[in-house]
């Protein structure tokens, strides 16, 4: 009985502390978290936050959805649900001031994860830029879902001295507000009166009413003021975090995690397949359902009857992930290799590696197929054909390969141009669309994901969307960077 009472009492104290620390779903992240956390939770929270930010990036750069549009928000929330991140869905759907323990715990995770990623993304200007852009998008999205009292509470908690104009003043200006503000239901909206230089992005696009040096902005556009302040705060905070990295990394357990976090894969590991793929179908599948990296490995193996270690590992694990059994895999490799060597040599030097991939030799782990980030960051030496062809192939070699596959001139140019710009995964997505004769805007993160989505499409489980040009997607990404610089200069 004493034990139960003690547990109940402890939980009550923790809940009270969380309510005081996290009174609102939306945070400006001005104070770092204090307390103990296990290494496992540290890593879990970091990867969940990274999944969230990558979801935002996918919606814009790969799906080509307009920032903050209804379709953009729906895609992000749906993706988060499919990833099992329901607490982030709740924080994004309706930010408020709930006192329920489940909401307080969600705010705690959100807070800690943000600061972990600061340590991981403060190292280079490129990483800082990506992190700031995604966090700004997340902040704006969450603010836009707030209503009435939640907004007022957010201002009070963060000491933001902004109050909405009175109904009398609004009635006097209502005609001008309707003409200058591009939102429906103007009569029901709260308006704020701020110095015009605080919302230069809105002034530039002529979305606000100006009078006597003040801009009258509705609640939905007030985020322009906050995001400019938040951007400056993040830039300064990342600079400070970078300065103190040496102290943090005295703990060797954190070094490898933080340094490699931006390259971590956060999706399905495809270590187990629910289907069985016969090796007799690999030639056909390689044309229609293999990503280019695996297609070129298959073709090279078929033509030379040999692959070096890097290629065997990358392709062998991919075959395992799509559903080729160990017995069939051994048969497949044996049939090819024994065309240039005797059976005894294959059994002594190569069959062990095949069984190793399936966890039957060595440490007997259930190894996962390589994801795109791992493949892209692989070192590829002379005479090797593994890695990512969009990164590791010469542009002319890539162009000739695609031309040999029957790519039309425009599609060929689009894919090669994306590869030259360093957009390797977007190039792979475009390759997918061309091969499948569709345009579903798939965000490619894993070769086995490519195969899985191709099979769904061929079986009619998913339907393609109307064709879209690839260029607006790249333009959105460039505009995102320009918008960041625009806000920073004005601040």
Could you tell me the pTM of the whole model?
0.70
Helical H runs in 305-446? 309-322, 326-337, 343-349, 351-357, 372-376, 389-392, 395-404, 409-420, 424-436
Residue 188 is predicted with a pLDDT of 83
Which value, to the nearest 10 degrees, does the dihedral of the CA atoms of residues 252, 258, 263, 269 take?
A: 70
Residues with Cβ within 8 Å of residue 241, at least 6 apart in sequence: 118, 119, 122
293 assigned to a ligand binding site: yes
Element (H, E) at 214: strand 214-218
Give the DSSP H or E segment for 3.
Answer: helix 2-21
Q: Establish whether 372 is an annotated binding residue.
A: yes
Are the C-beta atoms of 162 and 192 separated by less than 8 Å? yes
- Confirm whether residue 385 is marked as ligand binding: no
Quick: pLDDT tens for 1-46.
333 333 333 333 334 488 889 999 999 999 999 888 998 899 999 9
Pairwise CA distance, residues 32 & 468, whole Å: 43
Q: How far apart are CA 264 and CA 277, in angstroms?
A: 28
Q: Report d(CA 396, CA 299) in Å as an integer.
A: 19
* Look-up of token digits 């060929």: 412
Annotated ligand binding at 428? The verdict is: yes
Q: Are the C-beta atoms of 369 and 271 separated by less than 8 Å?
A: yes
Q: What is the pLDDT of residue 464?
A: 62
Taken in order 253, 254, 259, 261, the sign of the CA dihedral is positive
Q: Specify whether the CB–CB gap between 315 and 386 falls below 8 A.
A: yes
Whether the Cβ atoms of residue 107 and residue 91 lie closer than 8 Å to each other: yes
Q: How far apart are CA 158 and CA 46, in angstroms?
A: 25
Identify the H or E element spanning 128: helix 125-144
Cα–Cα distance for residue pair 157/465, rounded to 1 Å: 44
Answer for the pair 216, 192: CB distance below 8 angstroms, yes or no. Answer: yes
d(CA 46, CA 139): 18
What average pLDDT does the chain have? 86
According to DSSP, the β-strands at 209-211 and 214-218 are antiparallel
Tokens of 298: 């298959």
Cα–Cα distance between 430 and 418 in angstroms, integer?
9
Query: Phi first, then psi: what are they for 192, rounded to 5°?
Result: -120, 145
- Distances in Å between the Cα of 192 and the Cα atoms of 96, 207, 208, 217 are 20, 14, 11, 5
Taking the C-alpha atoms of residue 292 and residue 412, their distance in angstroms, rounded to an integer, is: 13
Helical ranges in 145-222 per DSSP H: 148-157, 167-180, 200-204
Residue 310 tokens, joined: 């890097």
pLDDT less than 50: residues of the chain = 1-16, 466-491
| Separation between Cα atoms, residue 312 and residue 352, nearest integer Å | 12
Say how far apart CA 293 and CA 449 lie, in whole Å.
Answer: 13
């Amino acid at each position: 009985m004493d034990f139960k009472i003690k547990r109940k009492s402890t939980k009550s104290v923790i809940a009270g502390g969380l309510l005081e620390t996290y009174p609102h779903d939306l945070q400006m992240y001005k104070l770092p978290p204090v307390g103990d956390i296990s290494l496992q939770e540290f890593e879990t929270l970091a990867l969940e936050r990274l999944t969230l930010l990558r979801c935002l990036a996918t919606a814009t750069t790969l799906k080509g959805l307009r920032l903050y549009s209804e379709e953009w928000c729906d895609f992000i929330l749906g993706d988060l649900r499919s990833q099992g991140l329901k607490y982030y869905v709740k924080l994004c759907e309706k930010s408020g001031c709930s006192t329920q323990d489940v909401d307080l715990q969600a705010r705690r995770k959100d807070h800690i994860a943000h600061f972990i990623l600061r340590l991981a993304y403060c190292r280079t200007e490129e990483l800082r830029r990506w992190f700031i852009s995604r966090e700004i998008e997340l902040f704006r999205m969450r603010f836009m879902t707030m209503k009435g009292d939640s907004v007022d509470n957010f201002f009070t908690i963060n000491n933001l001295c902004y109050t909405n104009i009175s109904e009398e003043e609004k009635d006097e200006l209502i005609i001008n507000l309707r003409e200058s503000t591009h939102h429906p239901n103007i009569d029901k909206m709260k308006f704020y009166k701020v110095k015009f230089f605080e919302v230069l992005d809105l002034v530039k696009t002529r979305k606000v009413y100006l009078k006597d040096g003040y801009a009258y902005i509705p609640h939905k556009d007030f985020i322009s003021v906050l995001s400019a302040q938040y951007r400056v705060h993040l830039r300064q905070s990342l600079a400070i975090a970078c300065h103190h990295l040496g102290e943090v990394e005295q703990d060797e357990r954190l070094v490898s995690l933080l340094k490699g976090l931006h390259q971590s894969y956060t999706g399905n590991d495809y270590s187990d397949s629910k289907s069985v793929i016969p090796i007799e179908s690999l030639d056909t599948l390689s044309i229609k359902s293999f990503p280019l990296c695996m297609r070129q490995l298959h073709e090279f193996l078929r033509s030379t009857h040999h692959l070096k270690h890097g290629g065997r590992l990358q392709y062998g694990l991919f075959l395992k992930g799509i559903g080729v059994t160990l017995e069939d895999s051994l048969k497949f490799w044996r049939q090819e290799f024994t065309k240039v060597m005797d059976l005894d040599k294959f059994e002594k030097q190569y069959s062990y590696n095949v069984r190793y991939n399936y966890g039957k030799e060595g440490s007997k782990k259930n190894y996962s197929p390589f994801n795109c980030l791992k493949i892209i960051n692989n070192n590829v030496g002379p005479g090797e054909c593994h890695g990512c062809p969009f990164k590791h192939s010469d542009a002319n070699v890539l162009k000739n390969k695609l031309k040999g596959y029957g790519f039309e001139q425009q599609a060929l140019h689009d894919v090669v141009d994306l590869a030259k710009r360093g957009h390797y995964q977007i190039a792979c997505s475009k390759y997918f669309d061309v091969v499948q004769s569709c345009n579903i805007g798939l965000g490619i993160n894993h070769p086995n994901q490519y195969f899985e989505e191709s099979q769904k499409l061929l079986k009619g489980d998913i339907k393609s969307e109307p064709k879209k040009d690839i260029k607006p997607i790249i333009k959105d990404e460039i505009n995102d960077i320009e918008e960041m610089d625009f806000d920073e200069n004005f601040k």
